[in-house]
């Protein structure tokens, strides 16, 4: 309906003033109407008329051309034009579906990106939650979405871990790994990484040894070695990490179609960079670099002096590999904002020889997740805020408040607290606030859905609204808010920003509360109409929570 109205208003402007304009209707405060446009102010200079005069003339025209859809056309202030839909049109908007702007498109959504041999931190939890929400939005717009993640199973962090693992085992003794309890494997690996990183920074001889370990790990993949003692330690510990990742993703309800290890993308990136030395990349002190300064960026190393690919080359290989696998129309990559400038260099280098892949790639970034009063943490130092810590403190806060251990509520609390904030800035996560049943929280919205379902359960059968239903004021207010849903979804899809959904759902729940407080539903002469509205409200709330990856329970 919004699109149709915009077209009709544009046609009226063209007919009256012979000016072609793009109309974007907005939602004003309810007392002014259902849609508004400032086109009269935009036209003022072009047609040399007072905007109020333009608005009045256009309002006369629109009262005729929009008579089937609009009950009132008014002019406010200096020339804002407000449109109030008739009840039948407003009710018709409730059946609208999100725009299928991505129908037939293939999209790869890459997020979470955990590194084997290291623990999952709060950032991994955040990007998993927000990445899932963005992937859901892409799907609701009609895209065929492939959810993937990417992680470093080769590289210096693995070499540091392997050095410390072998030191802890007192040599290359893979059989000793059996002594590590399954429940402690992930944490055991995390401690080894910290030990290796500390030793690398503090001792030059150890640093040199770890550099050799790094070469040895790459060689394992080149030789497909699974039998040597060193290889058996490596593959066993890598498997521990993957099992840990899978268990955690299962706990939060995240599913990935494919995990790309760096060992798979490194050879592809290495070959691509080497193939373009001279025209894209250049030799520098024994390494291969991309001179980003030529493009207003900075220079980065893609192949180091040892002949090994850096993260940059691996990312080039990843993009190429993703396209080989999926032939995507668009690729979304979600990471922390600390690598924003890094990714600009990677994509700019790729643009020089595969411009279509660079153009199809969108890099979204987010900030750090901290607890109240927390400081920035680092897995290099071992004082990270782990992903599981967030879930555990939230479980404790929920149990303290409700006396129950409901994981749907816990996940709803965490996920909503993450997605309700615009992606980009740091997040201060307050566990107690997140589980509150009052205020802007996930459990509040879950309870709102359960409450609506309870009302419907007491009433029995719910019938559809007749097309000619005339709405009372309170009913119309609720319908108006429900009718905004598809527009909010369309905006969230266009901007890849799920916080729009979260904000709308909170406003919707508040609108329902006002309706329910002032309009009796059960045992009222308008019971059938109002039950139908309660049902539509519950459906909308559930749909929106589903886009955010949050369960909508019927009971709480």
Euclidean distance between CA atoms 15 and 296, whole angstroms = 47
Does the pLDDT value for residue 68 go beyond 80?
A: yes
Judgement on whether residues 120 and 234 belong to the same structural domain of the protein: yes
Which CATH number covers residue 75?
Answer: 3.30.1360.70
- Asked whether residue 134 falls in the same domain as residue 37, the answer is no
| Contact present, 237 and 227 (Cβ < 8 Å) | no
Say yes or no: 154 and 62 in one domain: no
Give the DSSP letter of residue 26.
B
Note whether 58 and 120 are same-domain residues: no
Residue range 528-549, pLDDT digits in tens: 999 999 999 999 999 999 999 9
Same domain, 179 and 255: yes
Same domain, 351 and 397: no
Range of the domain at 516: 390-547
Q: How far apart are the first and last CA of the chain?
A: 36
Is residue 383 assigned to a domain?
no
Confidence of residue 468 (pLDDT cuts 50, 70, 90): confident
Does residue 126 belong to any structural domain of this protein?
yes
Using DSSP's 3-state secondary structure scheme, residue 288 falls into strand
Asked, for residue 90, whether it belongs to a domain, the answer is no
If we measure between CA atoms, which residue out of 509, 468, 516 comes closest to residue 485? 509
The band of 379, judged by pLDDT with boundaries at 50, 70 and 90, is very low
Q: Are 541 and 481 in contact (CB under 8 A)?
A: no
**204 and 287: one domain?**
yes
DSSP state of 23: -
Would you state the structure tokens that stand for residue 82, as one six-digit string?
């407000």
Nearest to 189 by CA among 116, 247, 130, 273: 116
Instruction: Tell me how many domains the chain contains.
Output: 3
Give mean pLDDT, residues 232-246.
97
- Decide which of 85, 119, 147 is a domain's last residue: 85
Residue 425: CA count within 13 A, CB half-sphere: 7
Phi, psi of 371 (to 5 degrees): -85, 160
pLDDT in tens, 290-317: 999 999 999 999 999 999 999 999 999 9
The pLDDT mean for the chain works out to 95
Contact 394, 411 (CB under 8 A): no
Q: Is 508 helix (H, G, I), strand (E, B) or coil?
A: helix
**Arithmetic mean of pLDDT, 160-166:** 98
Element housing 55 (H / E): helix 51-65
């Amino acid at each position: 309906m919004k699109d149709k109205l915009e077209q009709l208003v544009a046609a009226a402007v063209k007919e009256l003033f012979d000016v072609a304009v793009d109309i974007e209707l907005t939602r004003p405060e309810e007392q002014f109407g259902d849609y508004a446009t400032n086109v009269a102010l935009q036209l003022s200079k072009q047609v040399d008329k007072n905007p109020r005069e333009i608005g009045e003339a256009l309002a006369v025209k629109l009262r005729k051309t929009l008579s089937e859809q609009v009950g009132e056309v008014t002019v406010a202030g200096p020339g804002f034009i407000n449109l109030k839909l008739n009840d039948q049109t407003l009710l018709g908007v409730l059946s609208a579906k999100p725009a299928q702007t991505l129908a037939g498109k293939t999209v790869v959504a890459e997020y979470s990106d955990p590194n084997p041999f290291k623990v999952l931190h709060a950032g991994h939890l955040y990007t998993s939650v927000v990445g899932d929400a963005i992937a859901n939005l892409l799907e609701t717009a009609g895209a065929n979405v492939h959810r993937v993640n990417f992680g470093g199973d080769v590289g210096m962090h693995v070499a540091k871990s392997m050095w410390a693992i072998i030191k802890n085992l007192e040599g290359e003794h893979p059989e000793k790994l059996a002594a590590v309890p399954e429940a402690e494997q992930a944490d055991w690996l995390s401690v080894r990484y910290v030990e290796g990183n500390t030793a690398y920074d503090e001792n030059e001889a150890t640093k040199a040894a770890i550099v050799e370990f790094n070469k040895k790990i790459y060689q394992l993949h080149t030789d497909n070695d699974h039998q040597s003692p060193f290889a058996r330690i490596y593959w066993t510990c890598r498997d521990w990490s993957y099992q840990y990742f899978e268990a955690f993703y299962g706990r939060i309800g995240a599913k990935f179609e494919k995990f790309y290890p760096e060992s798979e993308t490194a050879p592809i990136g290495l070959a691509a960079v080497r193939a373009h030395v001279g025209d894209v990349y250049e030799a520098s002190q024994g390494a291969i670099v991309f001179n980003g300064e030529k493009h207003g960026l900075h220079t980065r190393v893609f192949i180091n002096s040892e002949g090994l690919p850096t993260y940059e080359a691996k990312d080039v290989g990843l993009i190429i590999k993703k396209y080989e696998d999926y032939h995507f129309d668009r690729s979304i990559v979600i990471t922390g904002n600390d690598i924003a400038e890094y990714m600009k260099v990677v994509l700019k280098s790729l643009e020089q020889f595969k411009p279509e892949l660079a153009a199809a790639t969108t890099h979204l970034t987010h900030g750090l997740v901290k607890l109240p009063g927390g400081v920035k943490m680092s897995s290099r130092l071992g004082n990270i805020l782990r992903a599981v810590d967030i879930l555990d403190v939230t479980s404790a806060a929920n149990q303290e408040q409700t006396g129950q251990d409901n994981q749907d509520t816990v996940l709803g609390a965490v996920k909503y607290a993450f997605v309700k904030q615009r992606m980009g800035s740091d997040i201060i996560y307050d566990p107690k606030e997140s589980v509150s049943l009052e205020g802007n929280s996930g459990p509040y919205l879950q309870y709102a859905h359960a409450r609506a379902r309870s009302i419907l359960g007491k009433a029995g059968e719910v019938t559809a609204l007749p097309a000619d239903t005339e709405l009372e004021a309170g009913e119309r207010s609720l319908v108006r808010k429900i009718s905004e849903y598809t527009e909010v979804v369309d905006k969230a899809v266009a901007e890849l920003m799920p916080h729009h959904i979260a904000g709308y759902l909170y406003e919707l729940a508040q609108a329902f509360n006002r309706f329910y407080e002032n309009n009796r539903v059960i045992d009222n002469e308008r019971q059938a109409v109002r039950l139908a509205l309660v049902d539509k409200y519950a459906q909308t709330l559930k749909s929106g929570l589903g886009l955010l990856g949050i369960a909508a329970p019927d009971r709480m």
